[in-house]
Amino acid sequence: MPTLELDKKEFLAALGKQVDDATLRKSISLMGIEVDDITASEIHVEVFPQRPDLLSLQGIVRNLKRYLGLGKKKSYVVKSSSYKVLVDKSVNKVRPYTACAVVTGIHFSDQLIKDVIQIQEKLHVTFCRNRKKAAIGVYPLEDITFPIYYKAAKPKEISFIPLEADREMNGLEILQKHPTGREYAHLLEGKDLFPYFIDAKNNILSMPPIINSEMTGRITEKTKDVFIEASGFDFETVHAIVKMIVAALIDMGGVAHEISVSYPDGVKKTPSVKEEVMKLHVEKANAWTGLDLSVKEMKSALAKMDYEVSGEGKILSVTIPFYRTDILHEVDLWEDVAIGFGYDKITPELPNITTVGKVSNEDAFAEAVSEVLVGAGLTEVKLYGLMNKELASTTTNQDTKKLVTLLNPSSSEYNVLRKDLLSGMLGLLGANKHNEYPQDIFEVGRVFSKDAKEESGVKETDHIAVLVAREDADFTKAKQVLDCIAKNLGFSISITEKEDALFVPGRSGTIMLGSKQLGRIGEIHPEVLARLGVEMPTAGFEIAIKDLFSHLF
């Protein structure tokens, strides 16, 4: 968990009340933040990663005030303005999104500058995943002329003096020679174009996600107004970052101004302080937390966690602060009900029932199938649930629109959830063609498919798949392994001929258990094997464990 070092004098001044160390420690801890130490001059805390809005002194004070009942929920306002940031289409393949803001009227002291630096650092490490997901820049407004442009260019065409440097460098030189550039060079590795922010007077502000300019990217005690930007791969992510920083800067005494961010396909105005409203079912909240709170008590608990709550019946309307990024489901509100009520008020109780943990029947059945396959001489493999969209398409010839695609993958190698096991296993055979044959393998694992009926929109199912790769591999070899499973576990299957793009025409079929379809079987098509570099004939099958188990038991 990230650790914050908070100036104690500044903290108590912002809180507006002198509180002794014991009360501070207890209150902050009960609010859900771990207190490591409180000294005469500093407060050391650890913040759980699900609360990035608390990664600043201002964020913690804001929530502690409400937790201690020191005032009402604060209203945040963003003024309209004529500031513009123009996003060029050249950034589409690098870091395509940015959200921005201007905050004026801050009287920066040395301590407030340290606070801003700490917010950036902690958000970079946690929410931004060490700048992989997003990067943040804060600049003195007096050194910048609007409109600002967000573009991308060849590395050698980008030239400026980076922070802590005494000479101008181009993009490649920064990655090779500047300490910060070397540390984060991997984030731009292999890119033909590097992103950069530049103002109307052609002054480069920064080259995200690496470093700011020495001339336009350093805040001092003379700075009163700042420009903030966050750039990354997802608009909602960068917008959330800017909103959290803007909330902290407003708490420092600043006034926020919106910016029109012009994309090639439209304009987005950031930051937005619009707050979402979520329904909370009182009975469900009590059942989940184990409490028995009245509507009044529940509203009081939520108010301590900085929510506005309306309604008097069984369903309450909860207004979520605009800087909260962790409230995704009603269960997140239930957790805050428990925190607001006070964990110290909850009496621990042992359950009045005795439970014994054991393997589920489905898992025991899958284990039995695995033992049969190991006994038949096959080797078990374990592959990732994530895979490459191109591999999934190549091996199954399936429409990629049916795949569950990651919105923000960290790598192009793992950008979809697998829809079957055979795809990944064939990819494994292609990567291991240098090893000795035969390669007879199986996997027991989970596959994923789109399903609007599921709460998450994704259905998860356990499958078993087998591949035999050898000189004499054919439909019969695969069928022999399938028959071995059926015989040892006491069920009978049949095969109905069916064409499948993965298999050789006329050498594939549907596996049937009575009238129930269990899966598919066949000889892998030579074109698929050639594309993957598999040099041996290969055959196999895949079945759904749940369908087989439910039919048998």
Domain boundaries, the chain: 3-67, 78-270, 277-345, 361-552
| pLDDT at residue number 414 | 83
As a whole number of angstroms, the longest Cα–Cα distance in the chain is 82
Architecture of the domain delimited by 361-552 = 2-Layer Sandwich (3.30)
Peptide bond into 147 cis (omega under 30): yes
- At 151-179, the pLDDT tens digits run 999 999 999 999 999 999 999 999 999 99
Topology of 3-67 in CATH? Phenylalanyl-tRNA Synthetase; Chain B, domain 1 (3.30.56)
Mean pLDDT of 495-516: 91
Per CATH, 3-67 and 277-345 having the same topology is answered: yes
75: left (phi over 0), alpha (psi -120 to 50) or beta: beta
Assigned token pair, 410: 């960290």
| CB of 339 closer than 8 Å to CB of 305 | yes
Percent of the chain with pLDDT over 70: 98
Q: How far is CA 113 from CA 73, 116, 119, 220, in A?
A: 26, 5, 10, 7
The DSSP output letter for 167 is S
The CA distance from 81 to 227, in Å, is 13
- pTM greater than 0.75: no
The CA distance from 204 to 213, in Å, is 7
User: pLDDT tier at 550 (50, 70, 90 boundaries)?
Assistant: confident
Q: Residue 303 above 90 pLDDT?
A: yes
Give the amino acid at 421: L
138, 141, 147, 150: CA torsion to nearest 10 = -20
Architecture of the domain delimited by 277-345 = 2-Layer Sandwich (3.30)
Q: Which helix (H) or strand (E) holds 436?
A: none
Q: Residue 391 above 90 pLDDT?
A: no
Instruction: Give residue 474's Cα distance to chain centre.
Output: 43
Q: Residue 397 above 60 pLDDT?
A: no
Give the amino acid at 14: A
User: pLDDT tier at 241 (50, 70, 90 boundaries)?
Assistant: very high
Residue 378 backbone phi and psi in degrees, to 5:
-90, 155
Bridge partners (DSSP) of residue 449 are: 459
The DSSP output letter for 73 is P
- At 79-110, the pLDDT tens digits run 999 999 999 999 998 999 999 999 999 999 99
CATH superfamily of 78-270: Phenylalanyl-trna Synthetase, Chain B, domain 3 (3.50.40.10)
The CA distance from 482 to 466, in Å, is 9
- At 146-158, the pLDDT tens digits run 999 999 999 999 9
